[in-house]
Structure 1
Amino acid sequence: MRSIVIDGQISYNAVSQIFNSETFRALLTELIKDSVRKKTSLYELFDLFIKDPKESVFEERYDIDSIIQLLLALMVNTIEEIDTSKCYSFPRLSDKKELLVKFVESLFSLWRNKHRFMLRRDTYTPARLKRIFKQTVLVNTNAELKTLVLNTYRQILINISDVSLKIMRQEPGGAQVSFLVDKPEIHQSAIVEKAKWLYDLDFVWSIIFEPPVIFYTRSNKRRGLFKVIDRPILHKLSIDNPQNWLLFPIFVGNKLLFVLTNKEYLALAAGLGNLFEIASFHSIRNRKPDGIYVFGINSDFFEKPEDVNGVIYKEEDNMYVGLIGDHPSIDYFGYMKKMILTIHNLLVLDEGRLPIHGALAQIRLKDGKCANIMLIGDSGAGKSETLDALNQLKEEVSEVNILIDDMGSLAITETGEVVAFGTETGAFVRLDDLQPGYAYSTMDRSIFMNPNVVNARVIVPYSNYDEIIRPTKIDYFLYANNYQKVKEGEEIRFFNSVEEALEVFSKGARIAKGTTSEKGLTHSYFANPFGAIQRKERHNEIAIKFLKAMMNTGVKIGEVCTQLGISSYEQIGPLQAAKSLIKLIQT
């Protein structure tokens, strides 16, 4: 049991709600089994609660009910009172205080190490104040649970050790993330006929975070490409246990996607709240989704074993359907995010527009000069890190307004100008590549993923939806080169022709930074393995068209050396690139 879903429909005010719950029993069982398996010091304590030494079946061997009753008794009596009372028949424990304290601390730590979610079904309303009231009710319910858990933990410790708590830490004790869900009213014309089972699922209409939000997933890298198969799959697809799934309706740019998530992967789905716009029920009532993504489907469903890592099908009505299996190797937010963006990019290519794996920022200097700079590059190229470095140069920079962090699309206006549109309202970035302290300065708004390992990540919100879907003119279109070492002041060079630009962008060279299973100097067509490579021929035609349009309208096309992939340049490289961008804008 890794993810715990807590009922948000009820009020939490009695300790019996904790000890009589199936969740608590499962936690206690897990702790005992782990202690027995590892032969920890707690094994001595649990050995006192063996009711049948000859039994090999766990539930028959250990007296779980007696341990729970002991904890209930410790809420009102000291351990000495329990030992001397004729009302109880527990083993004598007053000489094992240190062991009891360790047991309670271990149980509390086990609870806190779980991914904890609260779910409340409440009718969606278009009235803003009523929605806020419903959100507040859920916030208060979670606060009640946190208070109950902490008070229970503290009172038991006091009755064991008889030591006053001089320092009280308000540790996280409730849910990390809470969801408000309902089943929307969908107009008949907007129903996906081949997947009517979609509407048996609970749709998420609000997400509430209780910072700090830190999740530990079983994987921290993404592997391979998502295969695209041009045939339908929805007619074969169904969800047999809708109670184990949540549906997140999100906008990716102007595309509506339904993201179905197995509750075992709610930690990944929670990240969607920091990265994409949650679609209101009003906006989906009369609109079919442009794409559907099912995360955590039974691996037996896939035609080939390798498809568990991600495969996309195209329906007859041009809708795309992405599928990811239920396997520890895909328990990484990169699989959640990149599949969503791949579906978006395939839809964009079908419209004749150019999907871009890059970042776009409006950089305003204190002298009043301003430019819109787009940085193109695959994961780990140094896009986000360079923009973050610009934010640190406060002497020269007035504002860095990030419009696109990782993925966007380009369109050509009636006047021939190239404009950009964003997809995300947040950023999914490596902790190691950020300026020191930056991520922690936004801890109250961020979601941390595996902060204890290489490729630790953080999901930080940075913009609003209205801003990212507004068309934005581009002044500079630069490839983020993370592998070439250059002298300070020579970080930027420009291309003289479409052919020269196309060669560099098409190669998509970069030193892999551990965000995928790749190593060393790698190449990815147009730095975009998310739709571009799957539709390479079509993408190449569109790319040439857009590069010509940019050159014809005065957009400067070139590359900037971030040097992020070079050892010891992880911090200084993006900083030097940022300084060069400032000089470029000034001139």
Structure 2
Amino acid sequence: MGENRRTIQTDSLYIAPSRKVALLNFSQRYYTNMYEMINSDELKTMVRIYLNSLHNSERNDSFEDQTADDYVSVIKKILVDDISAYDHYSREEILDSIENFYTYYRSYLRVSVMDYRQNKIIGAKFREVDNFFNDQIRVLYRTIEEKLQGFPNKVYRQLDSGTNAAMLIDHHQWKIPAGYESLKDVPFIDRVMLRPPLMMHTKSNKREGVFSAVEYNPVDKFADQDGEWLCYPAKIGESLAFIYFDVDYLVNGLALSNLFQLASAKEIRDQKPDEIILFGLTPTKGDVSHYHHDADNDIWVAEVPYNDKTTYFGYMKKMCLTVHNLHQIYRNSLPIHGSMVKITFANGKQRNVVFFGDSGAGKSESLEALQEVADDQITNLETIFDDMGSFTIDDRVKNGISAQGTEIGAFVRLDDLSSAVAFDNMDRGVYLNPERKNARVIIPADSWDHVVQHHHVDMWVYANNYDKEIGLHRFNDVDEAKKTFVAGKRMALGTTDEVGFSTTFFANPFGPVQEEERTKPIIDQVFKTLFDHDVYVGEVYTHLGNDKSKDALHESAKELLHVLLTDD
């Protein structure tokens, strides 16, 4: 099943060496001191995996050419000051190996899990339980280290020695339609504790292709799946999504907690989800990702295949947003690929501005440039949504259009972050492949309650990264404006599999592309409403497709600032 699938399990430890993830089930076994740890099958298993990873082809009597049993036996002797531990190996050699083993273990994403149903007392204190485990791992490592080196350390670093994160899981009764019974026993993630800044790695670092519809329901495959599964119940905008993932995709599943609001038990019980995402199914033909609309139950069901390519978090995020956007389209709302900010100026004015465009068009760069040229003229800037939102015809709000977001976090390229934003949020971030091209970070951005409020729109601008003009252009004709937005032109910058000039219907391959005919009438209604209310609809020239310097972008930002300050 999939590429390089090999997992190793004990009663309380699940390890996927090819994905470098480890799940420690404290409901099955917990360690109260370092002696229980040193005698555990889990430690011996981890030692065995480490020794196998060295790929020594010939035995040369080094400390790391032993069996796992002998390796652990030496450690035990060291702990009780048995000098026979050094009969065959020097202290220096053993210490060097212990340091390497400790580093190898910490190279995994290590997550503890506790089942609230099995132990409500421990479950209620899952953070304290996990912290204690980390303390015990640290004590074990330092005790061995200091005994081998013969003196205490002068400097101590409180690393995430045991785990990077902890999860409390629970089992809820939800409104399961006929045909979905295979999902019944998959536990829900109830609470999450992260130890940021969290550095995680995946085999892939780029998303490819567009998701397509299938006639069959992907949930029909679930009963035949292997592996361990968990469900992250997410509130994406106002929709409820059950995101099921094979724990080999633990990086993706854990990263969700910085991006989508985790639904509560009350919001799950006796409820039917709007979307179900199955992440890590047996590969479909062509190893592509699909979705299906179960019209009878009004559930959008998506499948993402198990392979190395789909380890990139963009697959998780964008598939979730695709089915959410399709749900929105069927509710007569218009998915917006862009960002929305509420800007408060020193003169007291407030403006809700939406930047629109496909990946790499310059939405976030335009906003950053606006902040840089504004100096002290902007007193507050609040993000409503960072990547995806929706417009709805709404007579209750100013200008007749309400805008809502989908995410509580931002999934952004490290290269796009200003130094101020990067350092302000560094200690809260989940970092994905920080050493590679297209490195990403997921940082908290806003509360869910605020994201889903009905915000009015004062300005809507298309991020044009392909034309040579500088500044801002306001559309006076609704058809001309609609033509530009619908064409979705951009110069692709390589953040997906696209490079060069491209067009995407309504600049949004996550919903509108799949339901173009159903989306067009909603687009017509939205543009008519905005023009009827004399809302500023235009385009900002970012130059990012041709000019990598920020000079032209800053000139455009200055004009944008002037319009925002003077236009009523």
Do these two structures clear the TM 0.5 threshold for a shared fold by scoring above it?
Answer: yes
1:274-309 superposed Cα distances (whole Å, 9 cap, x missing partner): 11111111112232111110001122xx2x22xx33
* Structure 2 counterpart of 1:209, from 194, 219, 234: 194
Distance in structure 1 (CA, Å) of the matches to 2:246 and 2:157? 34
Find the residue that maps to 1:148 and give its secondary structure: helix
* Structure 1 counterpart of 2:171, from 180, 183, 187: 183
Q: Does 1:446 align with 2:429?
A: yes
* Structure 2 counterpart of 1:141, from 96, 115, 129: 129
Q: Does 1:6 align with 2:2?
A: no
Contact 1:251 / 1:277 at 8 angstroms: preserved in 2?
A: yes
Q: Does 1:406 align with 2:387?
A: yes
What's the offset of the Cα at 1:205?
A: 1.4
Q: 1:421 to 1:73 in 2, by over 3 A?
A: same
Query: Percent identical across equivalent pairs?
Result: 31
Q: Does 1:228 align with 2:213?
A: yes
Structure 2 match to 1:345: 325
* Structure 2 counterpart of 1:93, from 89, 109, 115: 89
1:423-465 superposed Cα distances (whole Å, 9 cap, x missing partner): 1111100001111252232122111000000000000111111
Find the residue that maps to 2:104 and give its secondary structure: helix
Structure 2 match to 1:263: 247
1:443-495 superposed Cα distances (whole Å, 9 cap, x missing partner): 22111000000000000111111111111110111111233444xxx421111
Structure 1 match to 2:562: 583
Distance in structure 2 (CA, Å) of the matches to 1:312 and 1:538? 17
* Structure 1 counterpart of 2:101, from 94, 100, 107: 107
Contact 2:338 / 2:357 at 8 angstroms: preserved in 1?
A: yes
Contact 2:244 / 2:279 at 8 angstroms: preserved in 1?
A: yes
Structure 2 gaps of 5+ residues are: 1-16
Structure 1 match to 2:3: none
Q: 1:124 to 1:386 in 2, by over 3 A?
A: farther
Mean Cα deviation higher: 575-584 or 246-255: 575-584
Contact 1:390 / 1:397 at 8 angstroms: preserved in 2?
A: no
Contact 2:218 / 2:303 at 8 angstroms: preserved in 1?
A: no
What's the offset of the Cα at 1:150?
A: 1.6
Contact 2:63 / 2:89 at 8 angstroms: preserved in 1?
A: no
Distance in structure 2 (CA, Å) of the matches to 1:247 and 1:72? 39
Find the residue that maps to 1:36 and give its secondary structure: coil
Distance in structure 2 (CA, Å) of the matches to 1:413 and 1:20? 64
Structure 2 match to 1:70: 74
Matching of residues 12-161 of structure 1 within 5 Å: 12-37=31-56, 45-46=62-63, 49=66, 63-77=67-81, 82-83=83-84, 91-94=87-90, 97-123=91-117, 137-161=125-149
What's the offset of the Cα at 1:75?
A: 2.0
Find the residue that maps to 2:97 and give its secondary structure: helix
Q: Does 1:247 align with 2:231?
A: yes
1:401-437 superposed Cα distances (whole Å, 9 cap, x missing partner): 1111111111112477111111111110000111125
Structure 2 match to 1:513: 493
What's the offset of the Cα at 1:391?
A: 4.9
Matched to 2:38, the amino acid is: F
Q: 1:574 to 1:156 in 2, by over 3 A?
A: farther
Structure 2 match to 1:165: 153
Q: 1:98 to 1:349 in 2, by over 3 A?
A: same
Q: 1:502 to 1:230 in 2, by over 3 A?
A: farther
What's the offset of the Cα at 1:37?
A: 4.3
What's the offset of the Cα at 1:158?
A: 1.6
* Structure 1 counterpart of 2:456, from 463, 473, 480: 473
Matched to 2:295, the amino acid is: E
Structure 1 match to 2:8: none
1:215-245 superposed Cα distances (whole Å, 9 cap, x missing partner): 011111000000112554434542555x710
Q: 1:419 to 1:476 in 2, by over 3 A?
A: same
What's the offset of the Cα at 1:30?
A: 2.9
Distance in structure 2 (CA, Å) of the matches to 1:259 and 1:432? 29
Matching of residues 277-288 of structure 1 within 5 Å: 277-288=261-272
Contact 1:342 / 1:531 at 8 angstroms: preserved in 2?
A: yes
Matched to 2:496, the amino acid is: T
Contact 1:357 / 1:527 at 8 angstroms: preserved in 2?
A: yes
Aligned CA RMSD, in angstroms, stands at 2.5
Distance in structure 2 (CA, Å) of the matches to 1:515 and 1:162? 51
Distance in structure 1 (CA, Å) of the matches to 2:281 and 2:36? 32
Contact 2:471 / 2:557 at 8 angstroms: preserved in 1?
A: no
Structure 1 match to 2:10: none
What's the offset of the Cα at 1:144?
A: 1.3
Structure 2 match to 1:53: none
Contact 1:201 / 1:247 at 8 angstroms: preserved in 2?
A: yes
Mean Cα deviation higher: 447-456 or 507-516: 507-516
Mean Cα deviation higher: 422-431 or 540-549: 540-549
Contact 1:124 / 1:205 at 8 angstroms: preserved in 2?
A: no
Q: 1:157 to 1:233 in 2, by over 3 A?
A: closer
Contact 2:116 / 2:123 at 8 angstroms: preserved in 1?
A: no
Matching of residues 418-567 of structure 1 within 5 Å: 418-486=401-469, 490-567=470-547
Find the residue that maps to 1:271 and give its secondary structure: helix
Q: 1:572 to 1:33 in 2, by over 3 A?
A: farther
Scaled by the length of structure 1, what TM-score is found? Answer: 0.87
Distance in structure 1 (CA, Å) of the matches to 2:309 and 2:41? 29
Contact 1:27 / 1:110 at 8 angstroms: preserved in 2?
A: no
What's the offset of the Cα at 1:159?
A: 1.8
Q: 1:146 to 1:252 in 2, by over 3 A?
A: same
What's the offset of the Cα at 1:352?
A: 2.0
Q: 1:396 to 1:139 in 2, by over 3 A?
A: same
Distance in structure 2 (CA, Å) of the matches to 1:295 and 1:580? 44
Distance in structure 2 (CA, Å) of the matches to 1:414 and 1:184? 38
What's the offset of the Cα at 1:110?
A: 0.6
Find the residue that maps to 2:441 and give its secondary structure: strand
Matched to 2:72, the amino acid is: I
Structure 2 match to 1:56: none
Contact 2:329 / 2:519 at 8 angstroms: preserved in 1?
A: yes
Structure 2 match to 1:58: none
Distance in structure 1 (CA, Å) of the matches to 2:534 and 2:64? 78
Distance in structure 2 (CA, Å) of the matches to 1:394 and 1:27? 54
Structure 1 match to 2:276: 292
Distance in structure 2 (CA, Å) of the matches to 1:115 and 1:577? 43
Structure 2 match to 1:55: none
Contact 1:231 / 1:314 at 8 angstroms: preserved in 2?
A: no
Structure 2 match to 1:193: 178
Distance in structure 2 (CA, Å) of the matches to 1:425 and 1:124? 31
Q: 1:76 to 1:269 in 2, by over 3 A?
A: same
Q: 1:572 to 1:105 in 2, by over 3 A?
A: farther
Q: 1:43 to 1:297 in 2, by over 3 A?
A: farther
Mean Cα deviation higher: 507-516 or 522-531: 507-516
Distance in structure 1 (CA, Å) of the matches to 2:205 and 2:291? 22
Q: How many residue pairs are counted as aligned between the two chains?
A: 543
Distance in structure 2 (CA, Å) of the matches to 1:30 and 1:537? 53
Runs of 4+ in 1 over 6 A off after TM superposition: 133-136
What's the offset of the Cα at 1:46?
A: 4.0
